[in-house]
Amino acid sequence: MSKVLVILETAGGQIRPHSLSGITCAAEIARATGKPLHLLVLGAHPDAAAQAIAAAGYGAAAVHTLAGPTLEPFTAEAWADAIVHAARTLGASVIGGTASSTLRDALPRAAAILDAPLVSEVVKVKSGDTFVRPISAGRALQDQKVNAGTFFFTARGTEFEHAQPTGAVPVQPLAPAAANTRGAVVQGVQKTESSRPQLTEAKVIVSGGRGMREGANFKVLEQLTDLLGGALGASRAATDAGMVPADLQVGQTGKIVAPELYFAVAISGAIQHLAGMKGSKTIVAINKDAEAPIFQVADYGLVGKWEEAVPRLVELIKARKGAA
């Protein structure tokens, strides 16, 4: 029987939280098609992470490992070869995972090798071969039907609940793959160390835009962020201007987020930015332009200068916490 195969990402011997959304999407496809769900962990030494994942199970029939020195650090070329090898070995006809930067890079390459279609950014599973996905920067939703024996998918992590543990399943290693980096060489990996949660996993996000004018002004947003225990974000205009690092970008070409609370400070609300955060549960906008598009999607809006509004908000939150 053909299988539904989910590619997982891990860190520190544990599954990365955003991968749990991909499992949920894949489980819905598995139920709709009657195919068993299988999980795959790649890496130089994937065994520890695979054992931790297998202990939870997440509704899968098994967790598979594929080890190889070329699989770490990540290159899309080597991962694509490994994914193709796993799909062929296991007889998987549906292959995918969460639409992270990693799988957005690797899965299209794997799909091309197998000459299979890929449905990207799935937000809803309508049936085993029909999916809903956003188009035109999120301004419309499209039903996409797949007419192929084998296909790939990526699931938008903000649209699916995290998979929950269901009970232990076995770990089954796969034979090594001939994973080739095709000349790609990773010279080094620079990791940003921060006590704040990652953007895609934060419950509160405070983002600044072009109106912040310079990077030093983000310090006041950092104060608000840390008071709320959240993550710091930015619009593309702010990152392109060099105010903050590019990995803080929220938007269609950055991170797709859906926190419980999203502050948009000095952000006009261009469709590129809205595509990355309009799924947030509560949106608070602070902008001096009363006609800014961001107010059309905000639950709460304050027309005013951030230089006055944000420090005052910080004061009020500190006072509230002090009185608690």
Q: Is 301 annotated as a binding residue?
A: no
- What angle, 0 to 180 degrees and rounded to 10, lies between the N-to-C axes of helices 218-227 and 306-323? 20
Instruction: Name the average pLDDT for the chain.
Output: 95
Is 102 labelled as part of a ligand binding site? no
DSSP secondary structure of 201-267: G-SEEEEE-GGG-SGGGHHHHHHHHHHTT-EEEE-HHHHHTTSS-GGGBBSTTSB----SEEEEES-
Residue 217 marked ligand-binding:
no
The reported pTM is: 0.88
Q: What is the pLDDT of residue 322?
A: 80
| 198 assigned ligand-binding residue | no
The answer to the question of whether 21 is labelled as a binding residue is no
19 marked as binding residue = no
Check whether domain 3-173 has CATH 3.40.50.620, yes or no: yes
Please check if 320 is assigned to a binding site. Answer: no
The boundaries of every CATH 3.40.50.620 domain in the chain are 3-173
Which residue, among 287, 35, 78, 246, has the nearest Cα to 176 in the 3D structure? 78
* Every domain range in the chain assigned CATH 3.40.50.1220: 199-323
Q: What are phi and psi of 212, to 5 degrees?
A: -75, -20
Q: Would you say 210 is a known binding-site residue?
A: yes
Q: Please tell me the class of the 199-323 domain.
A: alpha beta
Give pLDDT, residue 138.
82
CA distance readout (Å), 176 to 52, 66, 185: 21, 6, 20
pLDDT-derived band at 194 (thresholds 50, 70, 90) equals confident
Query: pLDDT, tens digit, for every residue of 232-290?
Result: 999 999 999 999 999 999 999 899 999 999 999 999 999 999 999 999 999 999 999 99
Q: Tell whether residue 101 is among the known ligand binding residues.
A: no
Report the pLDDT averaged over residues 22-30: 98
Render pLDDT for 134-191 as a digit per residue (tens, 0 to 9): 998 788 999 999 999 999 999 999 999 999 999 999 999 999 998 889 888 898 887 7
pLDDT tens profile 31-84: 999 999 999 999 999 999 999 999 999 999 999 999 999 999 999 999 999 999
Tell me, what's the pLDDT at 233? 98
